[in-house]
Chain A
Amino acid sequence: MEKTLAKKSFSQWVKKLSSWSVYIPRKDEEGRWNYAEADSGGVSLDVLQTTLPPKKILFPQREVFLEFAKTLAGNRETLEIKEVLPEVKPTVIIGARPCEARAAWMLDEVFGGDFKDAYYWRRRDQTALVGFACTIPPSENCFCTSVEGSPHSEEGLDILLTDLGDRYYVQSMTAKGEKLISAAKELFEEPKPEARKQVKAAHAESEKKIQRQLKDARPIAEKLKGMFDSPLWDEESMSCLRCGICTYLCPSCHCFDISDEVDNPSPLRGQRVRTWDTCQFPDFTMHSSGHNPRPDKASRLRQRLLHKFQYFIQVYDKFMCVGCGRCITLCPVGIDIIKVLDKVRDHGA
């Protein structure tokens, strides 16, 4: 379904979505942009990139899996386990970037398959993503076009909006998207014939603005298979501080920990929680014997890059990188995934 929506009608549309939880980029008290519920004010649709991607709405940084409690009746102790599945009302993320939606399309693979992750899907099934084509200038490290994405890609999105000056061009790709439009269908108009042309031009223009490029990403994926033992990983990881920011703020990184939190030791009461974790921490893979299959920074940098550019492709035929550039921009020591992969491509050439 394709429509147009006058910009002045946009806020009316959002108001009509009152039965949904609406997330929009919003500036927090520390001046960082983050996704927050729309009714909290200070929102903007002109933000290219929030600090944390909207991943946290589908896959929260901490979530309770179950609660456990022991009770003592006389001298009989009983153990109660209560599963805590999230109760999620229909949710819409407005202002997602096409790359962030592509990340959801990757996470769907991880949390799907033979073992469906009920916690993820409870949220995912209820959530629609309304994205904006990146017609505003990209970040200095955006490289989505190198990893099979684009500033107007549709994977993972329910609706793609493109800025045409006084109006948005609205493309709905899914039933969820159509539901969002029908919530305020009087605001949407049939697109004029020239609008389609304008959209094409805007999309083509947006691709030209991308400044960085990783050439030959697929051949690199193939080449990586032979570079597991390369000294390159040592050289490139030398400056790593093991802070993990590259993975925590990555839209597609999904590694997690499961641990028990005890509120009261006796009688026992607490909860089992899932929290984000990162392959960049030394104890991530350490056995209780002390043996560690990934004992150094080199093996952990290699794991991050190979997971994104080799393993995921071998299993799902997709990169596990959307080219948002956050890991490059935010790395405190300047480890640059594009430059490292450039070296892989040029290695031995």
Chain B
Amino acid sequence: MELNVYTPKLAKIVQAKDEVVGTRAIKTFRTEFANGARFDYRCGQCAMLSVFGKGEAMISISSSPLIRDYLQFSILRTGRVTAALHDMEVGDLIGVRGPYGNGFPIDEWRGKNLVFIGGGIGLAPLWSVVQTALLRKSEFGTLSLIYGARTSRDLVFKDELADLKSQMPVHLSIDVAEPDWKEFVGFVPTNVLEKKPSPANTIAITCGPPIMIKFVIKNLKDLKFEDDQIYTTVENKMKCGIGKCGRCNIGFHYVCKDGPVYSWAELKKLPQEY
């Protein structure tokens, strides 16, 4: 039978972890394919997840492609499919098709310093690169992370961030002060100006809410980062994932196929449609 790109592979949820509970809930899932199917992907690529009876949603893969045992997805409960995913438990079956999109050009970044700048759930797509860069640490210069969320309870990967601090500088922030908070208080773009990453031989990789990305880029420019030293990953509503259904385009680019990863040099040439 011919290859049918729309048919998902069945995958079993093998781990479901609460990252944030209550409003703006975030859960991290790990899945394994039911029949040991292969799924080769690159950092920054996405997968279309199915909850049968509810529909599909495009989610970035937050695990490293170097880890072959599972795929990891961190998901904000926000729409019908993501709410249904949050209600699922270990052992439940979902559908996975993909991977989709271009991914981060990390091989081009060999020998460079990498600074990751994330906001809220926007750390999820960066996490795949962070993990991969740590596994290939000798290939890169210094690694660092600037990450923030609205409140301390909205931070994802809290346990992993504590461990990460022993491996690279991690600068956290929250938007509004809290009694026991010892790190930066303020928005992520402000923390970028505060921590002043040097542009020398450095690539900045950012993801978060559109408004955060906009000001992070502005501030990186102020810190003398060139357009081709700044990378981001864009999100738009998607149905097919393969450049046919017509919704995720930014100008003539389909984010699902031509994106979601863009350097600022590329993205600034496209219209503001994201």
Q: Which of A229-287 contact B (CB under 8 A)?
A: 229, 254-260, 262, 265, 268, 270, 272, 277, 279, 284-287
B249 touches A311 (CB 8 A): yes
Q: CA–CA, A110 to B249, complex, Å?
A: 14
The interface residues of chain B lying within 8 Å CB-to-CB of A262 are 53
Q: Mark A48-86 against chain B: 1 for CB-CB distance below 8 A, else 0.
A: 000000000000000001101010000000010101010
B5 touches A279 (CB 8 A): no
Q: Number of contacting residues on A, CB 8 A? A: 51
Residue on B with the closest CB to A122? Answer: B2
Q: Mark A88-117 against chain B: 1 for CB-CB distance below 8 A, else 0.
A: 000000000000000000000011011111
Q: Which of B1-52 contact A (CB under 8 A)?
A: 1-8, 10, 50, 52
A258 touches B56 (CB 8 A): yes
The interface residues of chain A lying within 8 Å CB-to-CB of B239 are 256-258, 277
CB distance from B41 to the nearest CB of A (A): 15
B52 touches A79 (CB 8 A): yes
Which residue of A113, A268, A277, A285 contacts B243 across the interface (Cβ within 8 Å)? Answer: A113
Q: CA–CA, A229 to B95, complex, Å?
A: 40
Q: Is A136 an interface residue (CB 8 A)?
A: no
Q: Which of B214-256 contact A (CB under 8 A)?
A: 235-237, 239-240, 242-252
Given A117-B244, A257-B245: A314 in contact with B78 (beta carbons within 8 A): no
Q: Is A288 an interface residue (CB 8 A)?
A: yes
Q: CA–CA, A113 to B5, complex, Å?
A: 12
Q: Is B55 an interface residue (CB 8 A)?
A: yes
Q: Which of A175-229 contact B (CB under 8 A)?
A: 228-229
The interface residues of chain A lying within 8 Å CB-to-CB of B243 are 113, 115
B7 touches A287 (CB 8 A): no
A256 touches B237 (CB 8 A): no
The interface residues of chain B lying within 8 Å CB-to-CB of A68 are 52-53
CB distance from A259 to the nearest CB of B (A): 5
CB distance from A99 to the nearest CB of B (A): 21
Q: Is A293 an interface residue (CB 8 A)?
A: yes
B247 touches A255 (CB 8 A): yes
Given A228-B271, A258-B56, A286-B237: A310 in contact with B244 (beta carbons within 8 A): no
Given A117-B244, A311-B251: A268 in contact with B273 (beta carbons within 8 A): no
Q: CA–CA, A286 to B78, complex, Å?
A: 13
Residue on A with the closest CB to B244? Answer: A110
A258 touches B244 (CB 8 A): no
Q: Is B93 an interface residue (CB 8 A)?
A: yes
Q: Is A19 an interface residue (CB 8 A)?
A: no
Q: CA–CA, A103 to B59, complex, Å?
A: 33
A285 touches B237 (CB 8 A): yes
Q: Is A291 an interface residue (CB 8 A)?
A: yes
Q: Is A11 an interface residue (CB 8 A)?
A: no
Residue on B with the closest CB to A83? Answer: B7
CB distance from B272 to the nearest CB of A (A): 8
CB distance from A236 to the nearest CB of B (A): 18
Q: Mark A301-319 against chain B: 1 for CB-CB distance below 8 A, else 0.
A: 0010011001100110000
Given A265-B53, A284-B247: A117 in contact with B7 (beta carbons within 8 A): no
Which residue of B53, B55, B237, B271 contacts A287 across the interface (Cβ within 8 Å)? Answer: B237
The interface residues of chain A lying within 8 Å CB-to-CB of B56 are 258
Residue on B with the closest CB to A306? Answer: B251
Q: CA–CA, A310 to B250, complex, Å?
A: 12
Interface of A is mostly: mixed
Q: Is A45 an interface residue (CB 8 A)?
A: no
CB distance from A94 to the nearest CB of B (A): 28
Q: Is A289 an interface residue (CB 8 A)?
A: yes
The interface residues of chain B lying within 8 Å CB-to-CB of A85 are 1, 4
Q: CA–CA, A234 to B243, complex, Å?
A: 27
Q: Is B181 an interface residue (CB 8 A)?
A: no
The interface residues of chain A lying within 8 Å CB-to-CB of B1 are 83, 85
Q: Is A119 an interface residue (CB 8 A)?
A: yes
B273 touches A307 (CB 8 A): no
Which residue of A116, A256, A265, A287 contacts B3 across the interface (Cβ within 8 Å)? Answer: A116
Q: CA–CA, A236 to B4, complex, Å?
A: 41
Residue on A with the closest CB to B270? Answer: A228
CB distance from A234 to the nearest CB of B (A): 16
Q: CA–CA, A39 to B210, complex, Å?
A: 56
The interface residues of chain B lying within 8 Å CB-to-CB of A257 are 239, 245
B10 touches A81 (CB 8 A): yes
Q: Is A294 an interface residue (CB 8 A)?
A: yes
CB distance from A61 to the nearest CB of B (A): 15
- Closest 10 CB pairs between A and B? A288-B79, A255-B246, A115-B242, A311-B252, A68-B52, A288-B78, A314-B252, A118-B4, A228-B271, A293-B273
Interface set of B (CB-CB < 8 Å, partner A): 1-8, 10, 50, 52-56, 78-79, 82, 93, 95, 210, 235-237, 239-240, 242-252, 257, 271, 273-274
Known: A81-B7, A254-B246, A293-B273. 12 other contacts (CB 8 A): A70-B52, A85-B4, A118-B2, A255-B246, A256-B240, A260-B54, A270-B53, A272-B52, A285-B237, A310-B252, A311-B249, A315-B252
Interface set of A (CB-CB < 8 Å, partner B): 65-66, 68, 70, 79, 81, 83, 85, 110-111, 113-119, 121, 228-229, 254-260, 262, 265, 268, 270, 272, 277, 279, 284-289, 291, 293-294, 299, 303, 306-307, 310-311, 314-315
17 pairs from A and B in contact (CB 8 Å cutoff) = A68-B52, A113-B243, A114-B242, A114-B257, A115-B244, A116-B3, A117-B5, A117-B244, A118-B5, A258-B240, A260-B52, A268-B52, A272-B52, A285-B237, A293-B250, A293-B273, A299-B273
